[in-house]
Every structure is written in structure tokens, then in C-alpha cells.
Structure 1
Amino acid sequence: MSSRFESKVIVVTGATSGMGQAVAERVAAEGASVVLAGRRKDEGEQVAADIRANGGQALFVPTDVTVESDVENLVRTAVTEFGRLDGAFNNAGGMNSFGPVQDLDEAGWRADLDVNLSSVFYGLKYQVPAIAAAGGGAILNNASNLGVVGFESVAPYVAAKHGVVGITRATALETAAQGIRINALVTGGVDTPLARATMLATDEGRAMVAGLHPVGRVAQPEEIAAFAAFLLSDEASFVTGAALAIDGGFTAR
């Protein structure tokens, strides 16, 4: 595999499984030193150990991305341990509230905004100056397909992910002159451990989710990782402020 990320340091949040893990493994295989973040310490340490066993450089930092001081510590640790920061994949997220908006409570609303949107704000707040100090780089925020379209019964998640697209575009304009590119990833359904435990847990659920995508299936995490690695690399040097779909045609309808 190529060495597009040789000598580069990349932070990945939500890195203990699924898309985050796949992206971390992909950029590490291409030469990056990867700083993994997540709340599940055992799983995170195992992903980091597996990357190192395959010849890569990886460090896991226990992080709750809804806590600003945790995110600040994550970025500080990356710079302290590896001397710089060149990129980030802000991938942590999840759904906490389900049902019609009139039936939702404030706690669920705030939980969705915290994990999906505030986490990205905290990431950008500390990643941007660190990457600027290194001479520039790239940040990719996972907005999901529901960052650009609506979907019933998950209004807080949809609102938060639309916010991710908005903050991506705003900060891309703020940082372009500093050599920092910031984009949003619009992902469709992906076969992750979390998805297999929820919406893909049954044959009926899997068929329903696959049917939402014109290609007739969900993605594998490695497919997302290949696209994310391109967007984080210098090969995408003219791409910034964009919401880019890898969603099997979901948002083309």
C-alpha cells in the first residue's frame, strides 16, 4: 500500500470499532501515526495493539468527546507524543432520541446534540490550531446521510448532523488560508457492530435498510475508510468545505 501519510499524525475519534477503526487502520497502513479516541478503553487498546502488531504506529487515549477537557487532552497528547498533528477524523456519534418531536424530552435532545455536534465543535476548536502549527492538513467530520436529508422519528439526530455540515462549511472558510481543509462525510448505512446490534439485527431490518439504498446494500467499513483516506490525504488538496456522499445513492433520490 502507498505511503500517503508518512510522517503524518492523525487523530480518529469513535475509533474502537466500525468506521473509526477502519479509517484508523487504513491511514496507519499508509504510514500515519494514529491517535485513537473512544470511551471503551479495552477495545481501544486492542485496536491500537493490532495496528502496532501490523507495523503501524498507534496510541489510544480514553476520551469522552462530549467533554471539552477530554478533547483538549486528546489533541495535546497527540502533539506531545508525536510532535505534531496533521489531520483528524471526527467520527464519534450516535442516536439517543426516537419518536415524534412532541414526544421527545430535553435530556434526549441534548444528548444527541452533545455526542453528534458539540463533539465536532470541541474537536475543531483544538485540532485547528494544532494543525495550523504543523503547517496545514485536513479534517473530516462524519455528518452521515442525515446531515443533508430529513428522516422521521430521529429529529434531534438529524438536526445535529445538519449542524455538522454547517460547522464544517463555516470552519473551512475560516481556515482555508492556513492550509487546512475541512470536509463533511455523508455516509449511508454501514455494516458496523453497532448497526448489527440495532437496525441490522434481523433479516427484516437488514432488508429494510438495504432497500433505502439504490445499490441494494449497506457499505462495509473498509469502503468508507478508502474514501476517507483520500479526503484526508494531499491527493484531495482542492477539496474543502464540501459535504461528500458515500451512501449507495441514498441522498440522490
Structure 2
Amino acid sequence: MRRVVLTIGAAIGFLAVNIGMTACGADIPPAPKASTYAPAADLVKAVDDYIAGIADILESQEDFKDLQAKVIKDAETIAVLALVLGLHDENTPYKAAAPALIKAARELSAAAAKDYASAKKALGALEAAKSSVGDPNGLKWEKVASLKELMEQVPLVNSRLKRNMRRFERQAEVIAVDSAVIAAIAQGSMANLDETNKPENAEQWFQFCAAMRDAAAQINKAAKAKDAAGAEKAVTALAKTCDDCHAVFHPEALGKTE
């Protein structure tokens, strides 16, 4: 088994809505080039790792029973990573595959909520989607994943990142991938304003998402430069962005980002 997940409470209150809607009618701010906050190679590695981790779980019905929630969470994360890859300014095979990856990841999430057999079948479709060739030009910044699942994923990734900071020189590449995942989730979550408990606070939500994205991007840059001090500073900044956001949108989560 590749990873063990501890169950945590929902990081942000949410409302049930259909995937693909706009952020409560508010215009999502123009995004910077994705290469500035989440290098494509890091996101490709993350997508491959999440799919491999799901495959590990689905080797056994007993493992699936224990880690069903993780399969759902990781599938939702793959969807948002695929969206960023599809809109990325850097080319990878997953840019053309992004539309199919998003669709297959969403279907895996729904299937995993049903039963083992459905999840196994949906995993096969997701693995096949990796080699699909589609047109990413139809993609836009919109909701493709559940905010609840994404916000529960963030502290899990962040905890792993902070553990690896103790072995910075050896784990710099892993830290870079995890920080790219957090940055991508932050950018993708802008479209999930309507799932927060204060959808009227659009400007604040966008600002908090951007701050989280940019702090994670600094960790990524520092990791690639093997700058341990810079990475530590950016990790502290990232924690502050989480606390600042929680203070407005989910006070109960203050201090529970790991």
C-alpha cells in the first residue's frame, strides 16, 4: 500500500451543487501561466502517482473497503490536476488527454462511492484516458471536483510535504511535486466558491486561493533550487494562507491544516 490516510473533518462547509457550474456567477480572476506555480512535469508525476495508488487499493476488495474514501478523494484530485494540465502553457501528453482524464476521474469518484466492482471498472477507464487524444481548447476554469474532497486532500499533502522537509536534500523532488499539487488545487478551487459557507465573499475567496497557490509555488521553486531556507519560509507562508482563509470561511478548521 503506497499511502495511509487519516480521516479528517471537512475543511470547508459546502452546499451540494452540480459539477461544472460557475463560481456563483462571480468571474474567476485571470490565472497566471500554470508553469509559474505548478510545472507540468510535477503534475504529470502526481497524476501518475495518484492513479497508481488507487490501483494498489483496488487490488483488494478488503483494502477498498478500508480506503474507499481515499479513492474518492484521490479521484477528485486527479480531476483538478488534469484541468490544470489541460490549460497549461507547457506541453505534455496529458494536455491532450485532459478532457478524458477529467471525465474518467469524475466517473471513478462516483463509481467508488457505489461499490468495488464499479470502482475497478472506472479505474480501467481512467488508465485508458491517460493515452487519449482530445482537444483541450474547450477547457476553461470551472468546477471539476468537490471542494470538500479537495480541502481534505490539502492537509494530507501538506503533512507529507512538511515531513519531507526534515530530509530536504533527499526529498526535494517529492516536495516539488506535493507543492505543485497544492498550488493546482488552490487555483482549481477558485471555481468552487458556491460550495463555501460564504459564497457572497467572492473577492476574499479568490484572494485566499491565489495566496495559497502562490505560497505553494514558492515552495516548488525553492525545492527545485535546493533552497532549504526559502522552502521553510514558504511553508510558513502557506500555513498562514490556510489559517487566514479558515478564519473567514471555516473557523472550526483553524490550526488543523495537518
**Which of structures 1 and 2 has the larger relative contact order (alpha carbons within 8 angstroms, sep 6+)?**
2
Above 0.5 in TM-score? no
Structure number having the greater helix percentage: 2
TM-score range relative to shorter protein: under 0.3
With the length of structure 2 as denominator, give the TM-score of the two structures. 0.27
TM-score, normalised on structure 1?
0.27
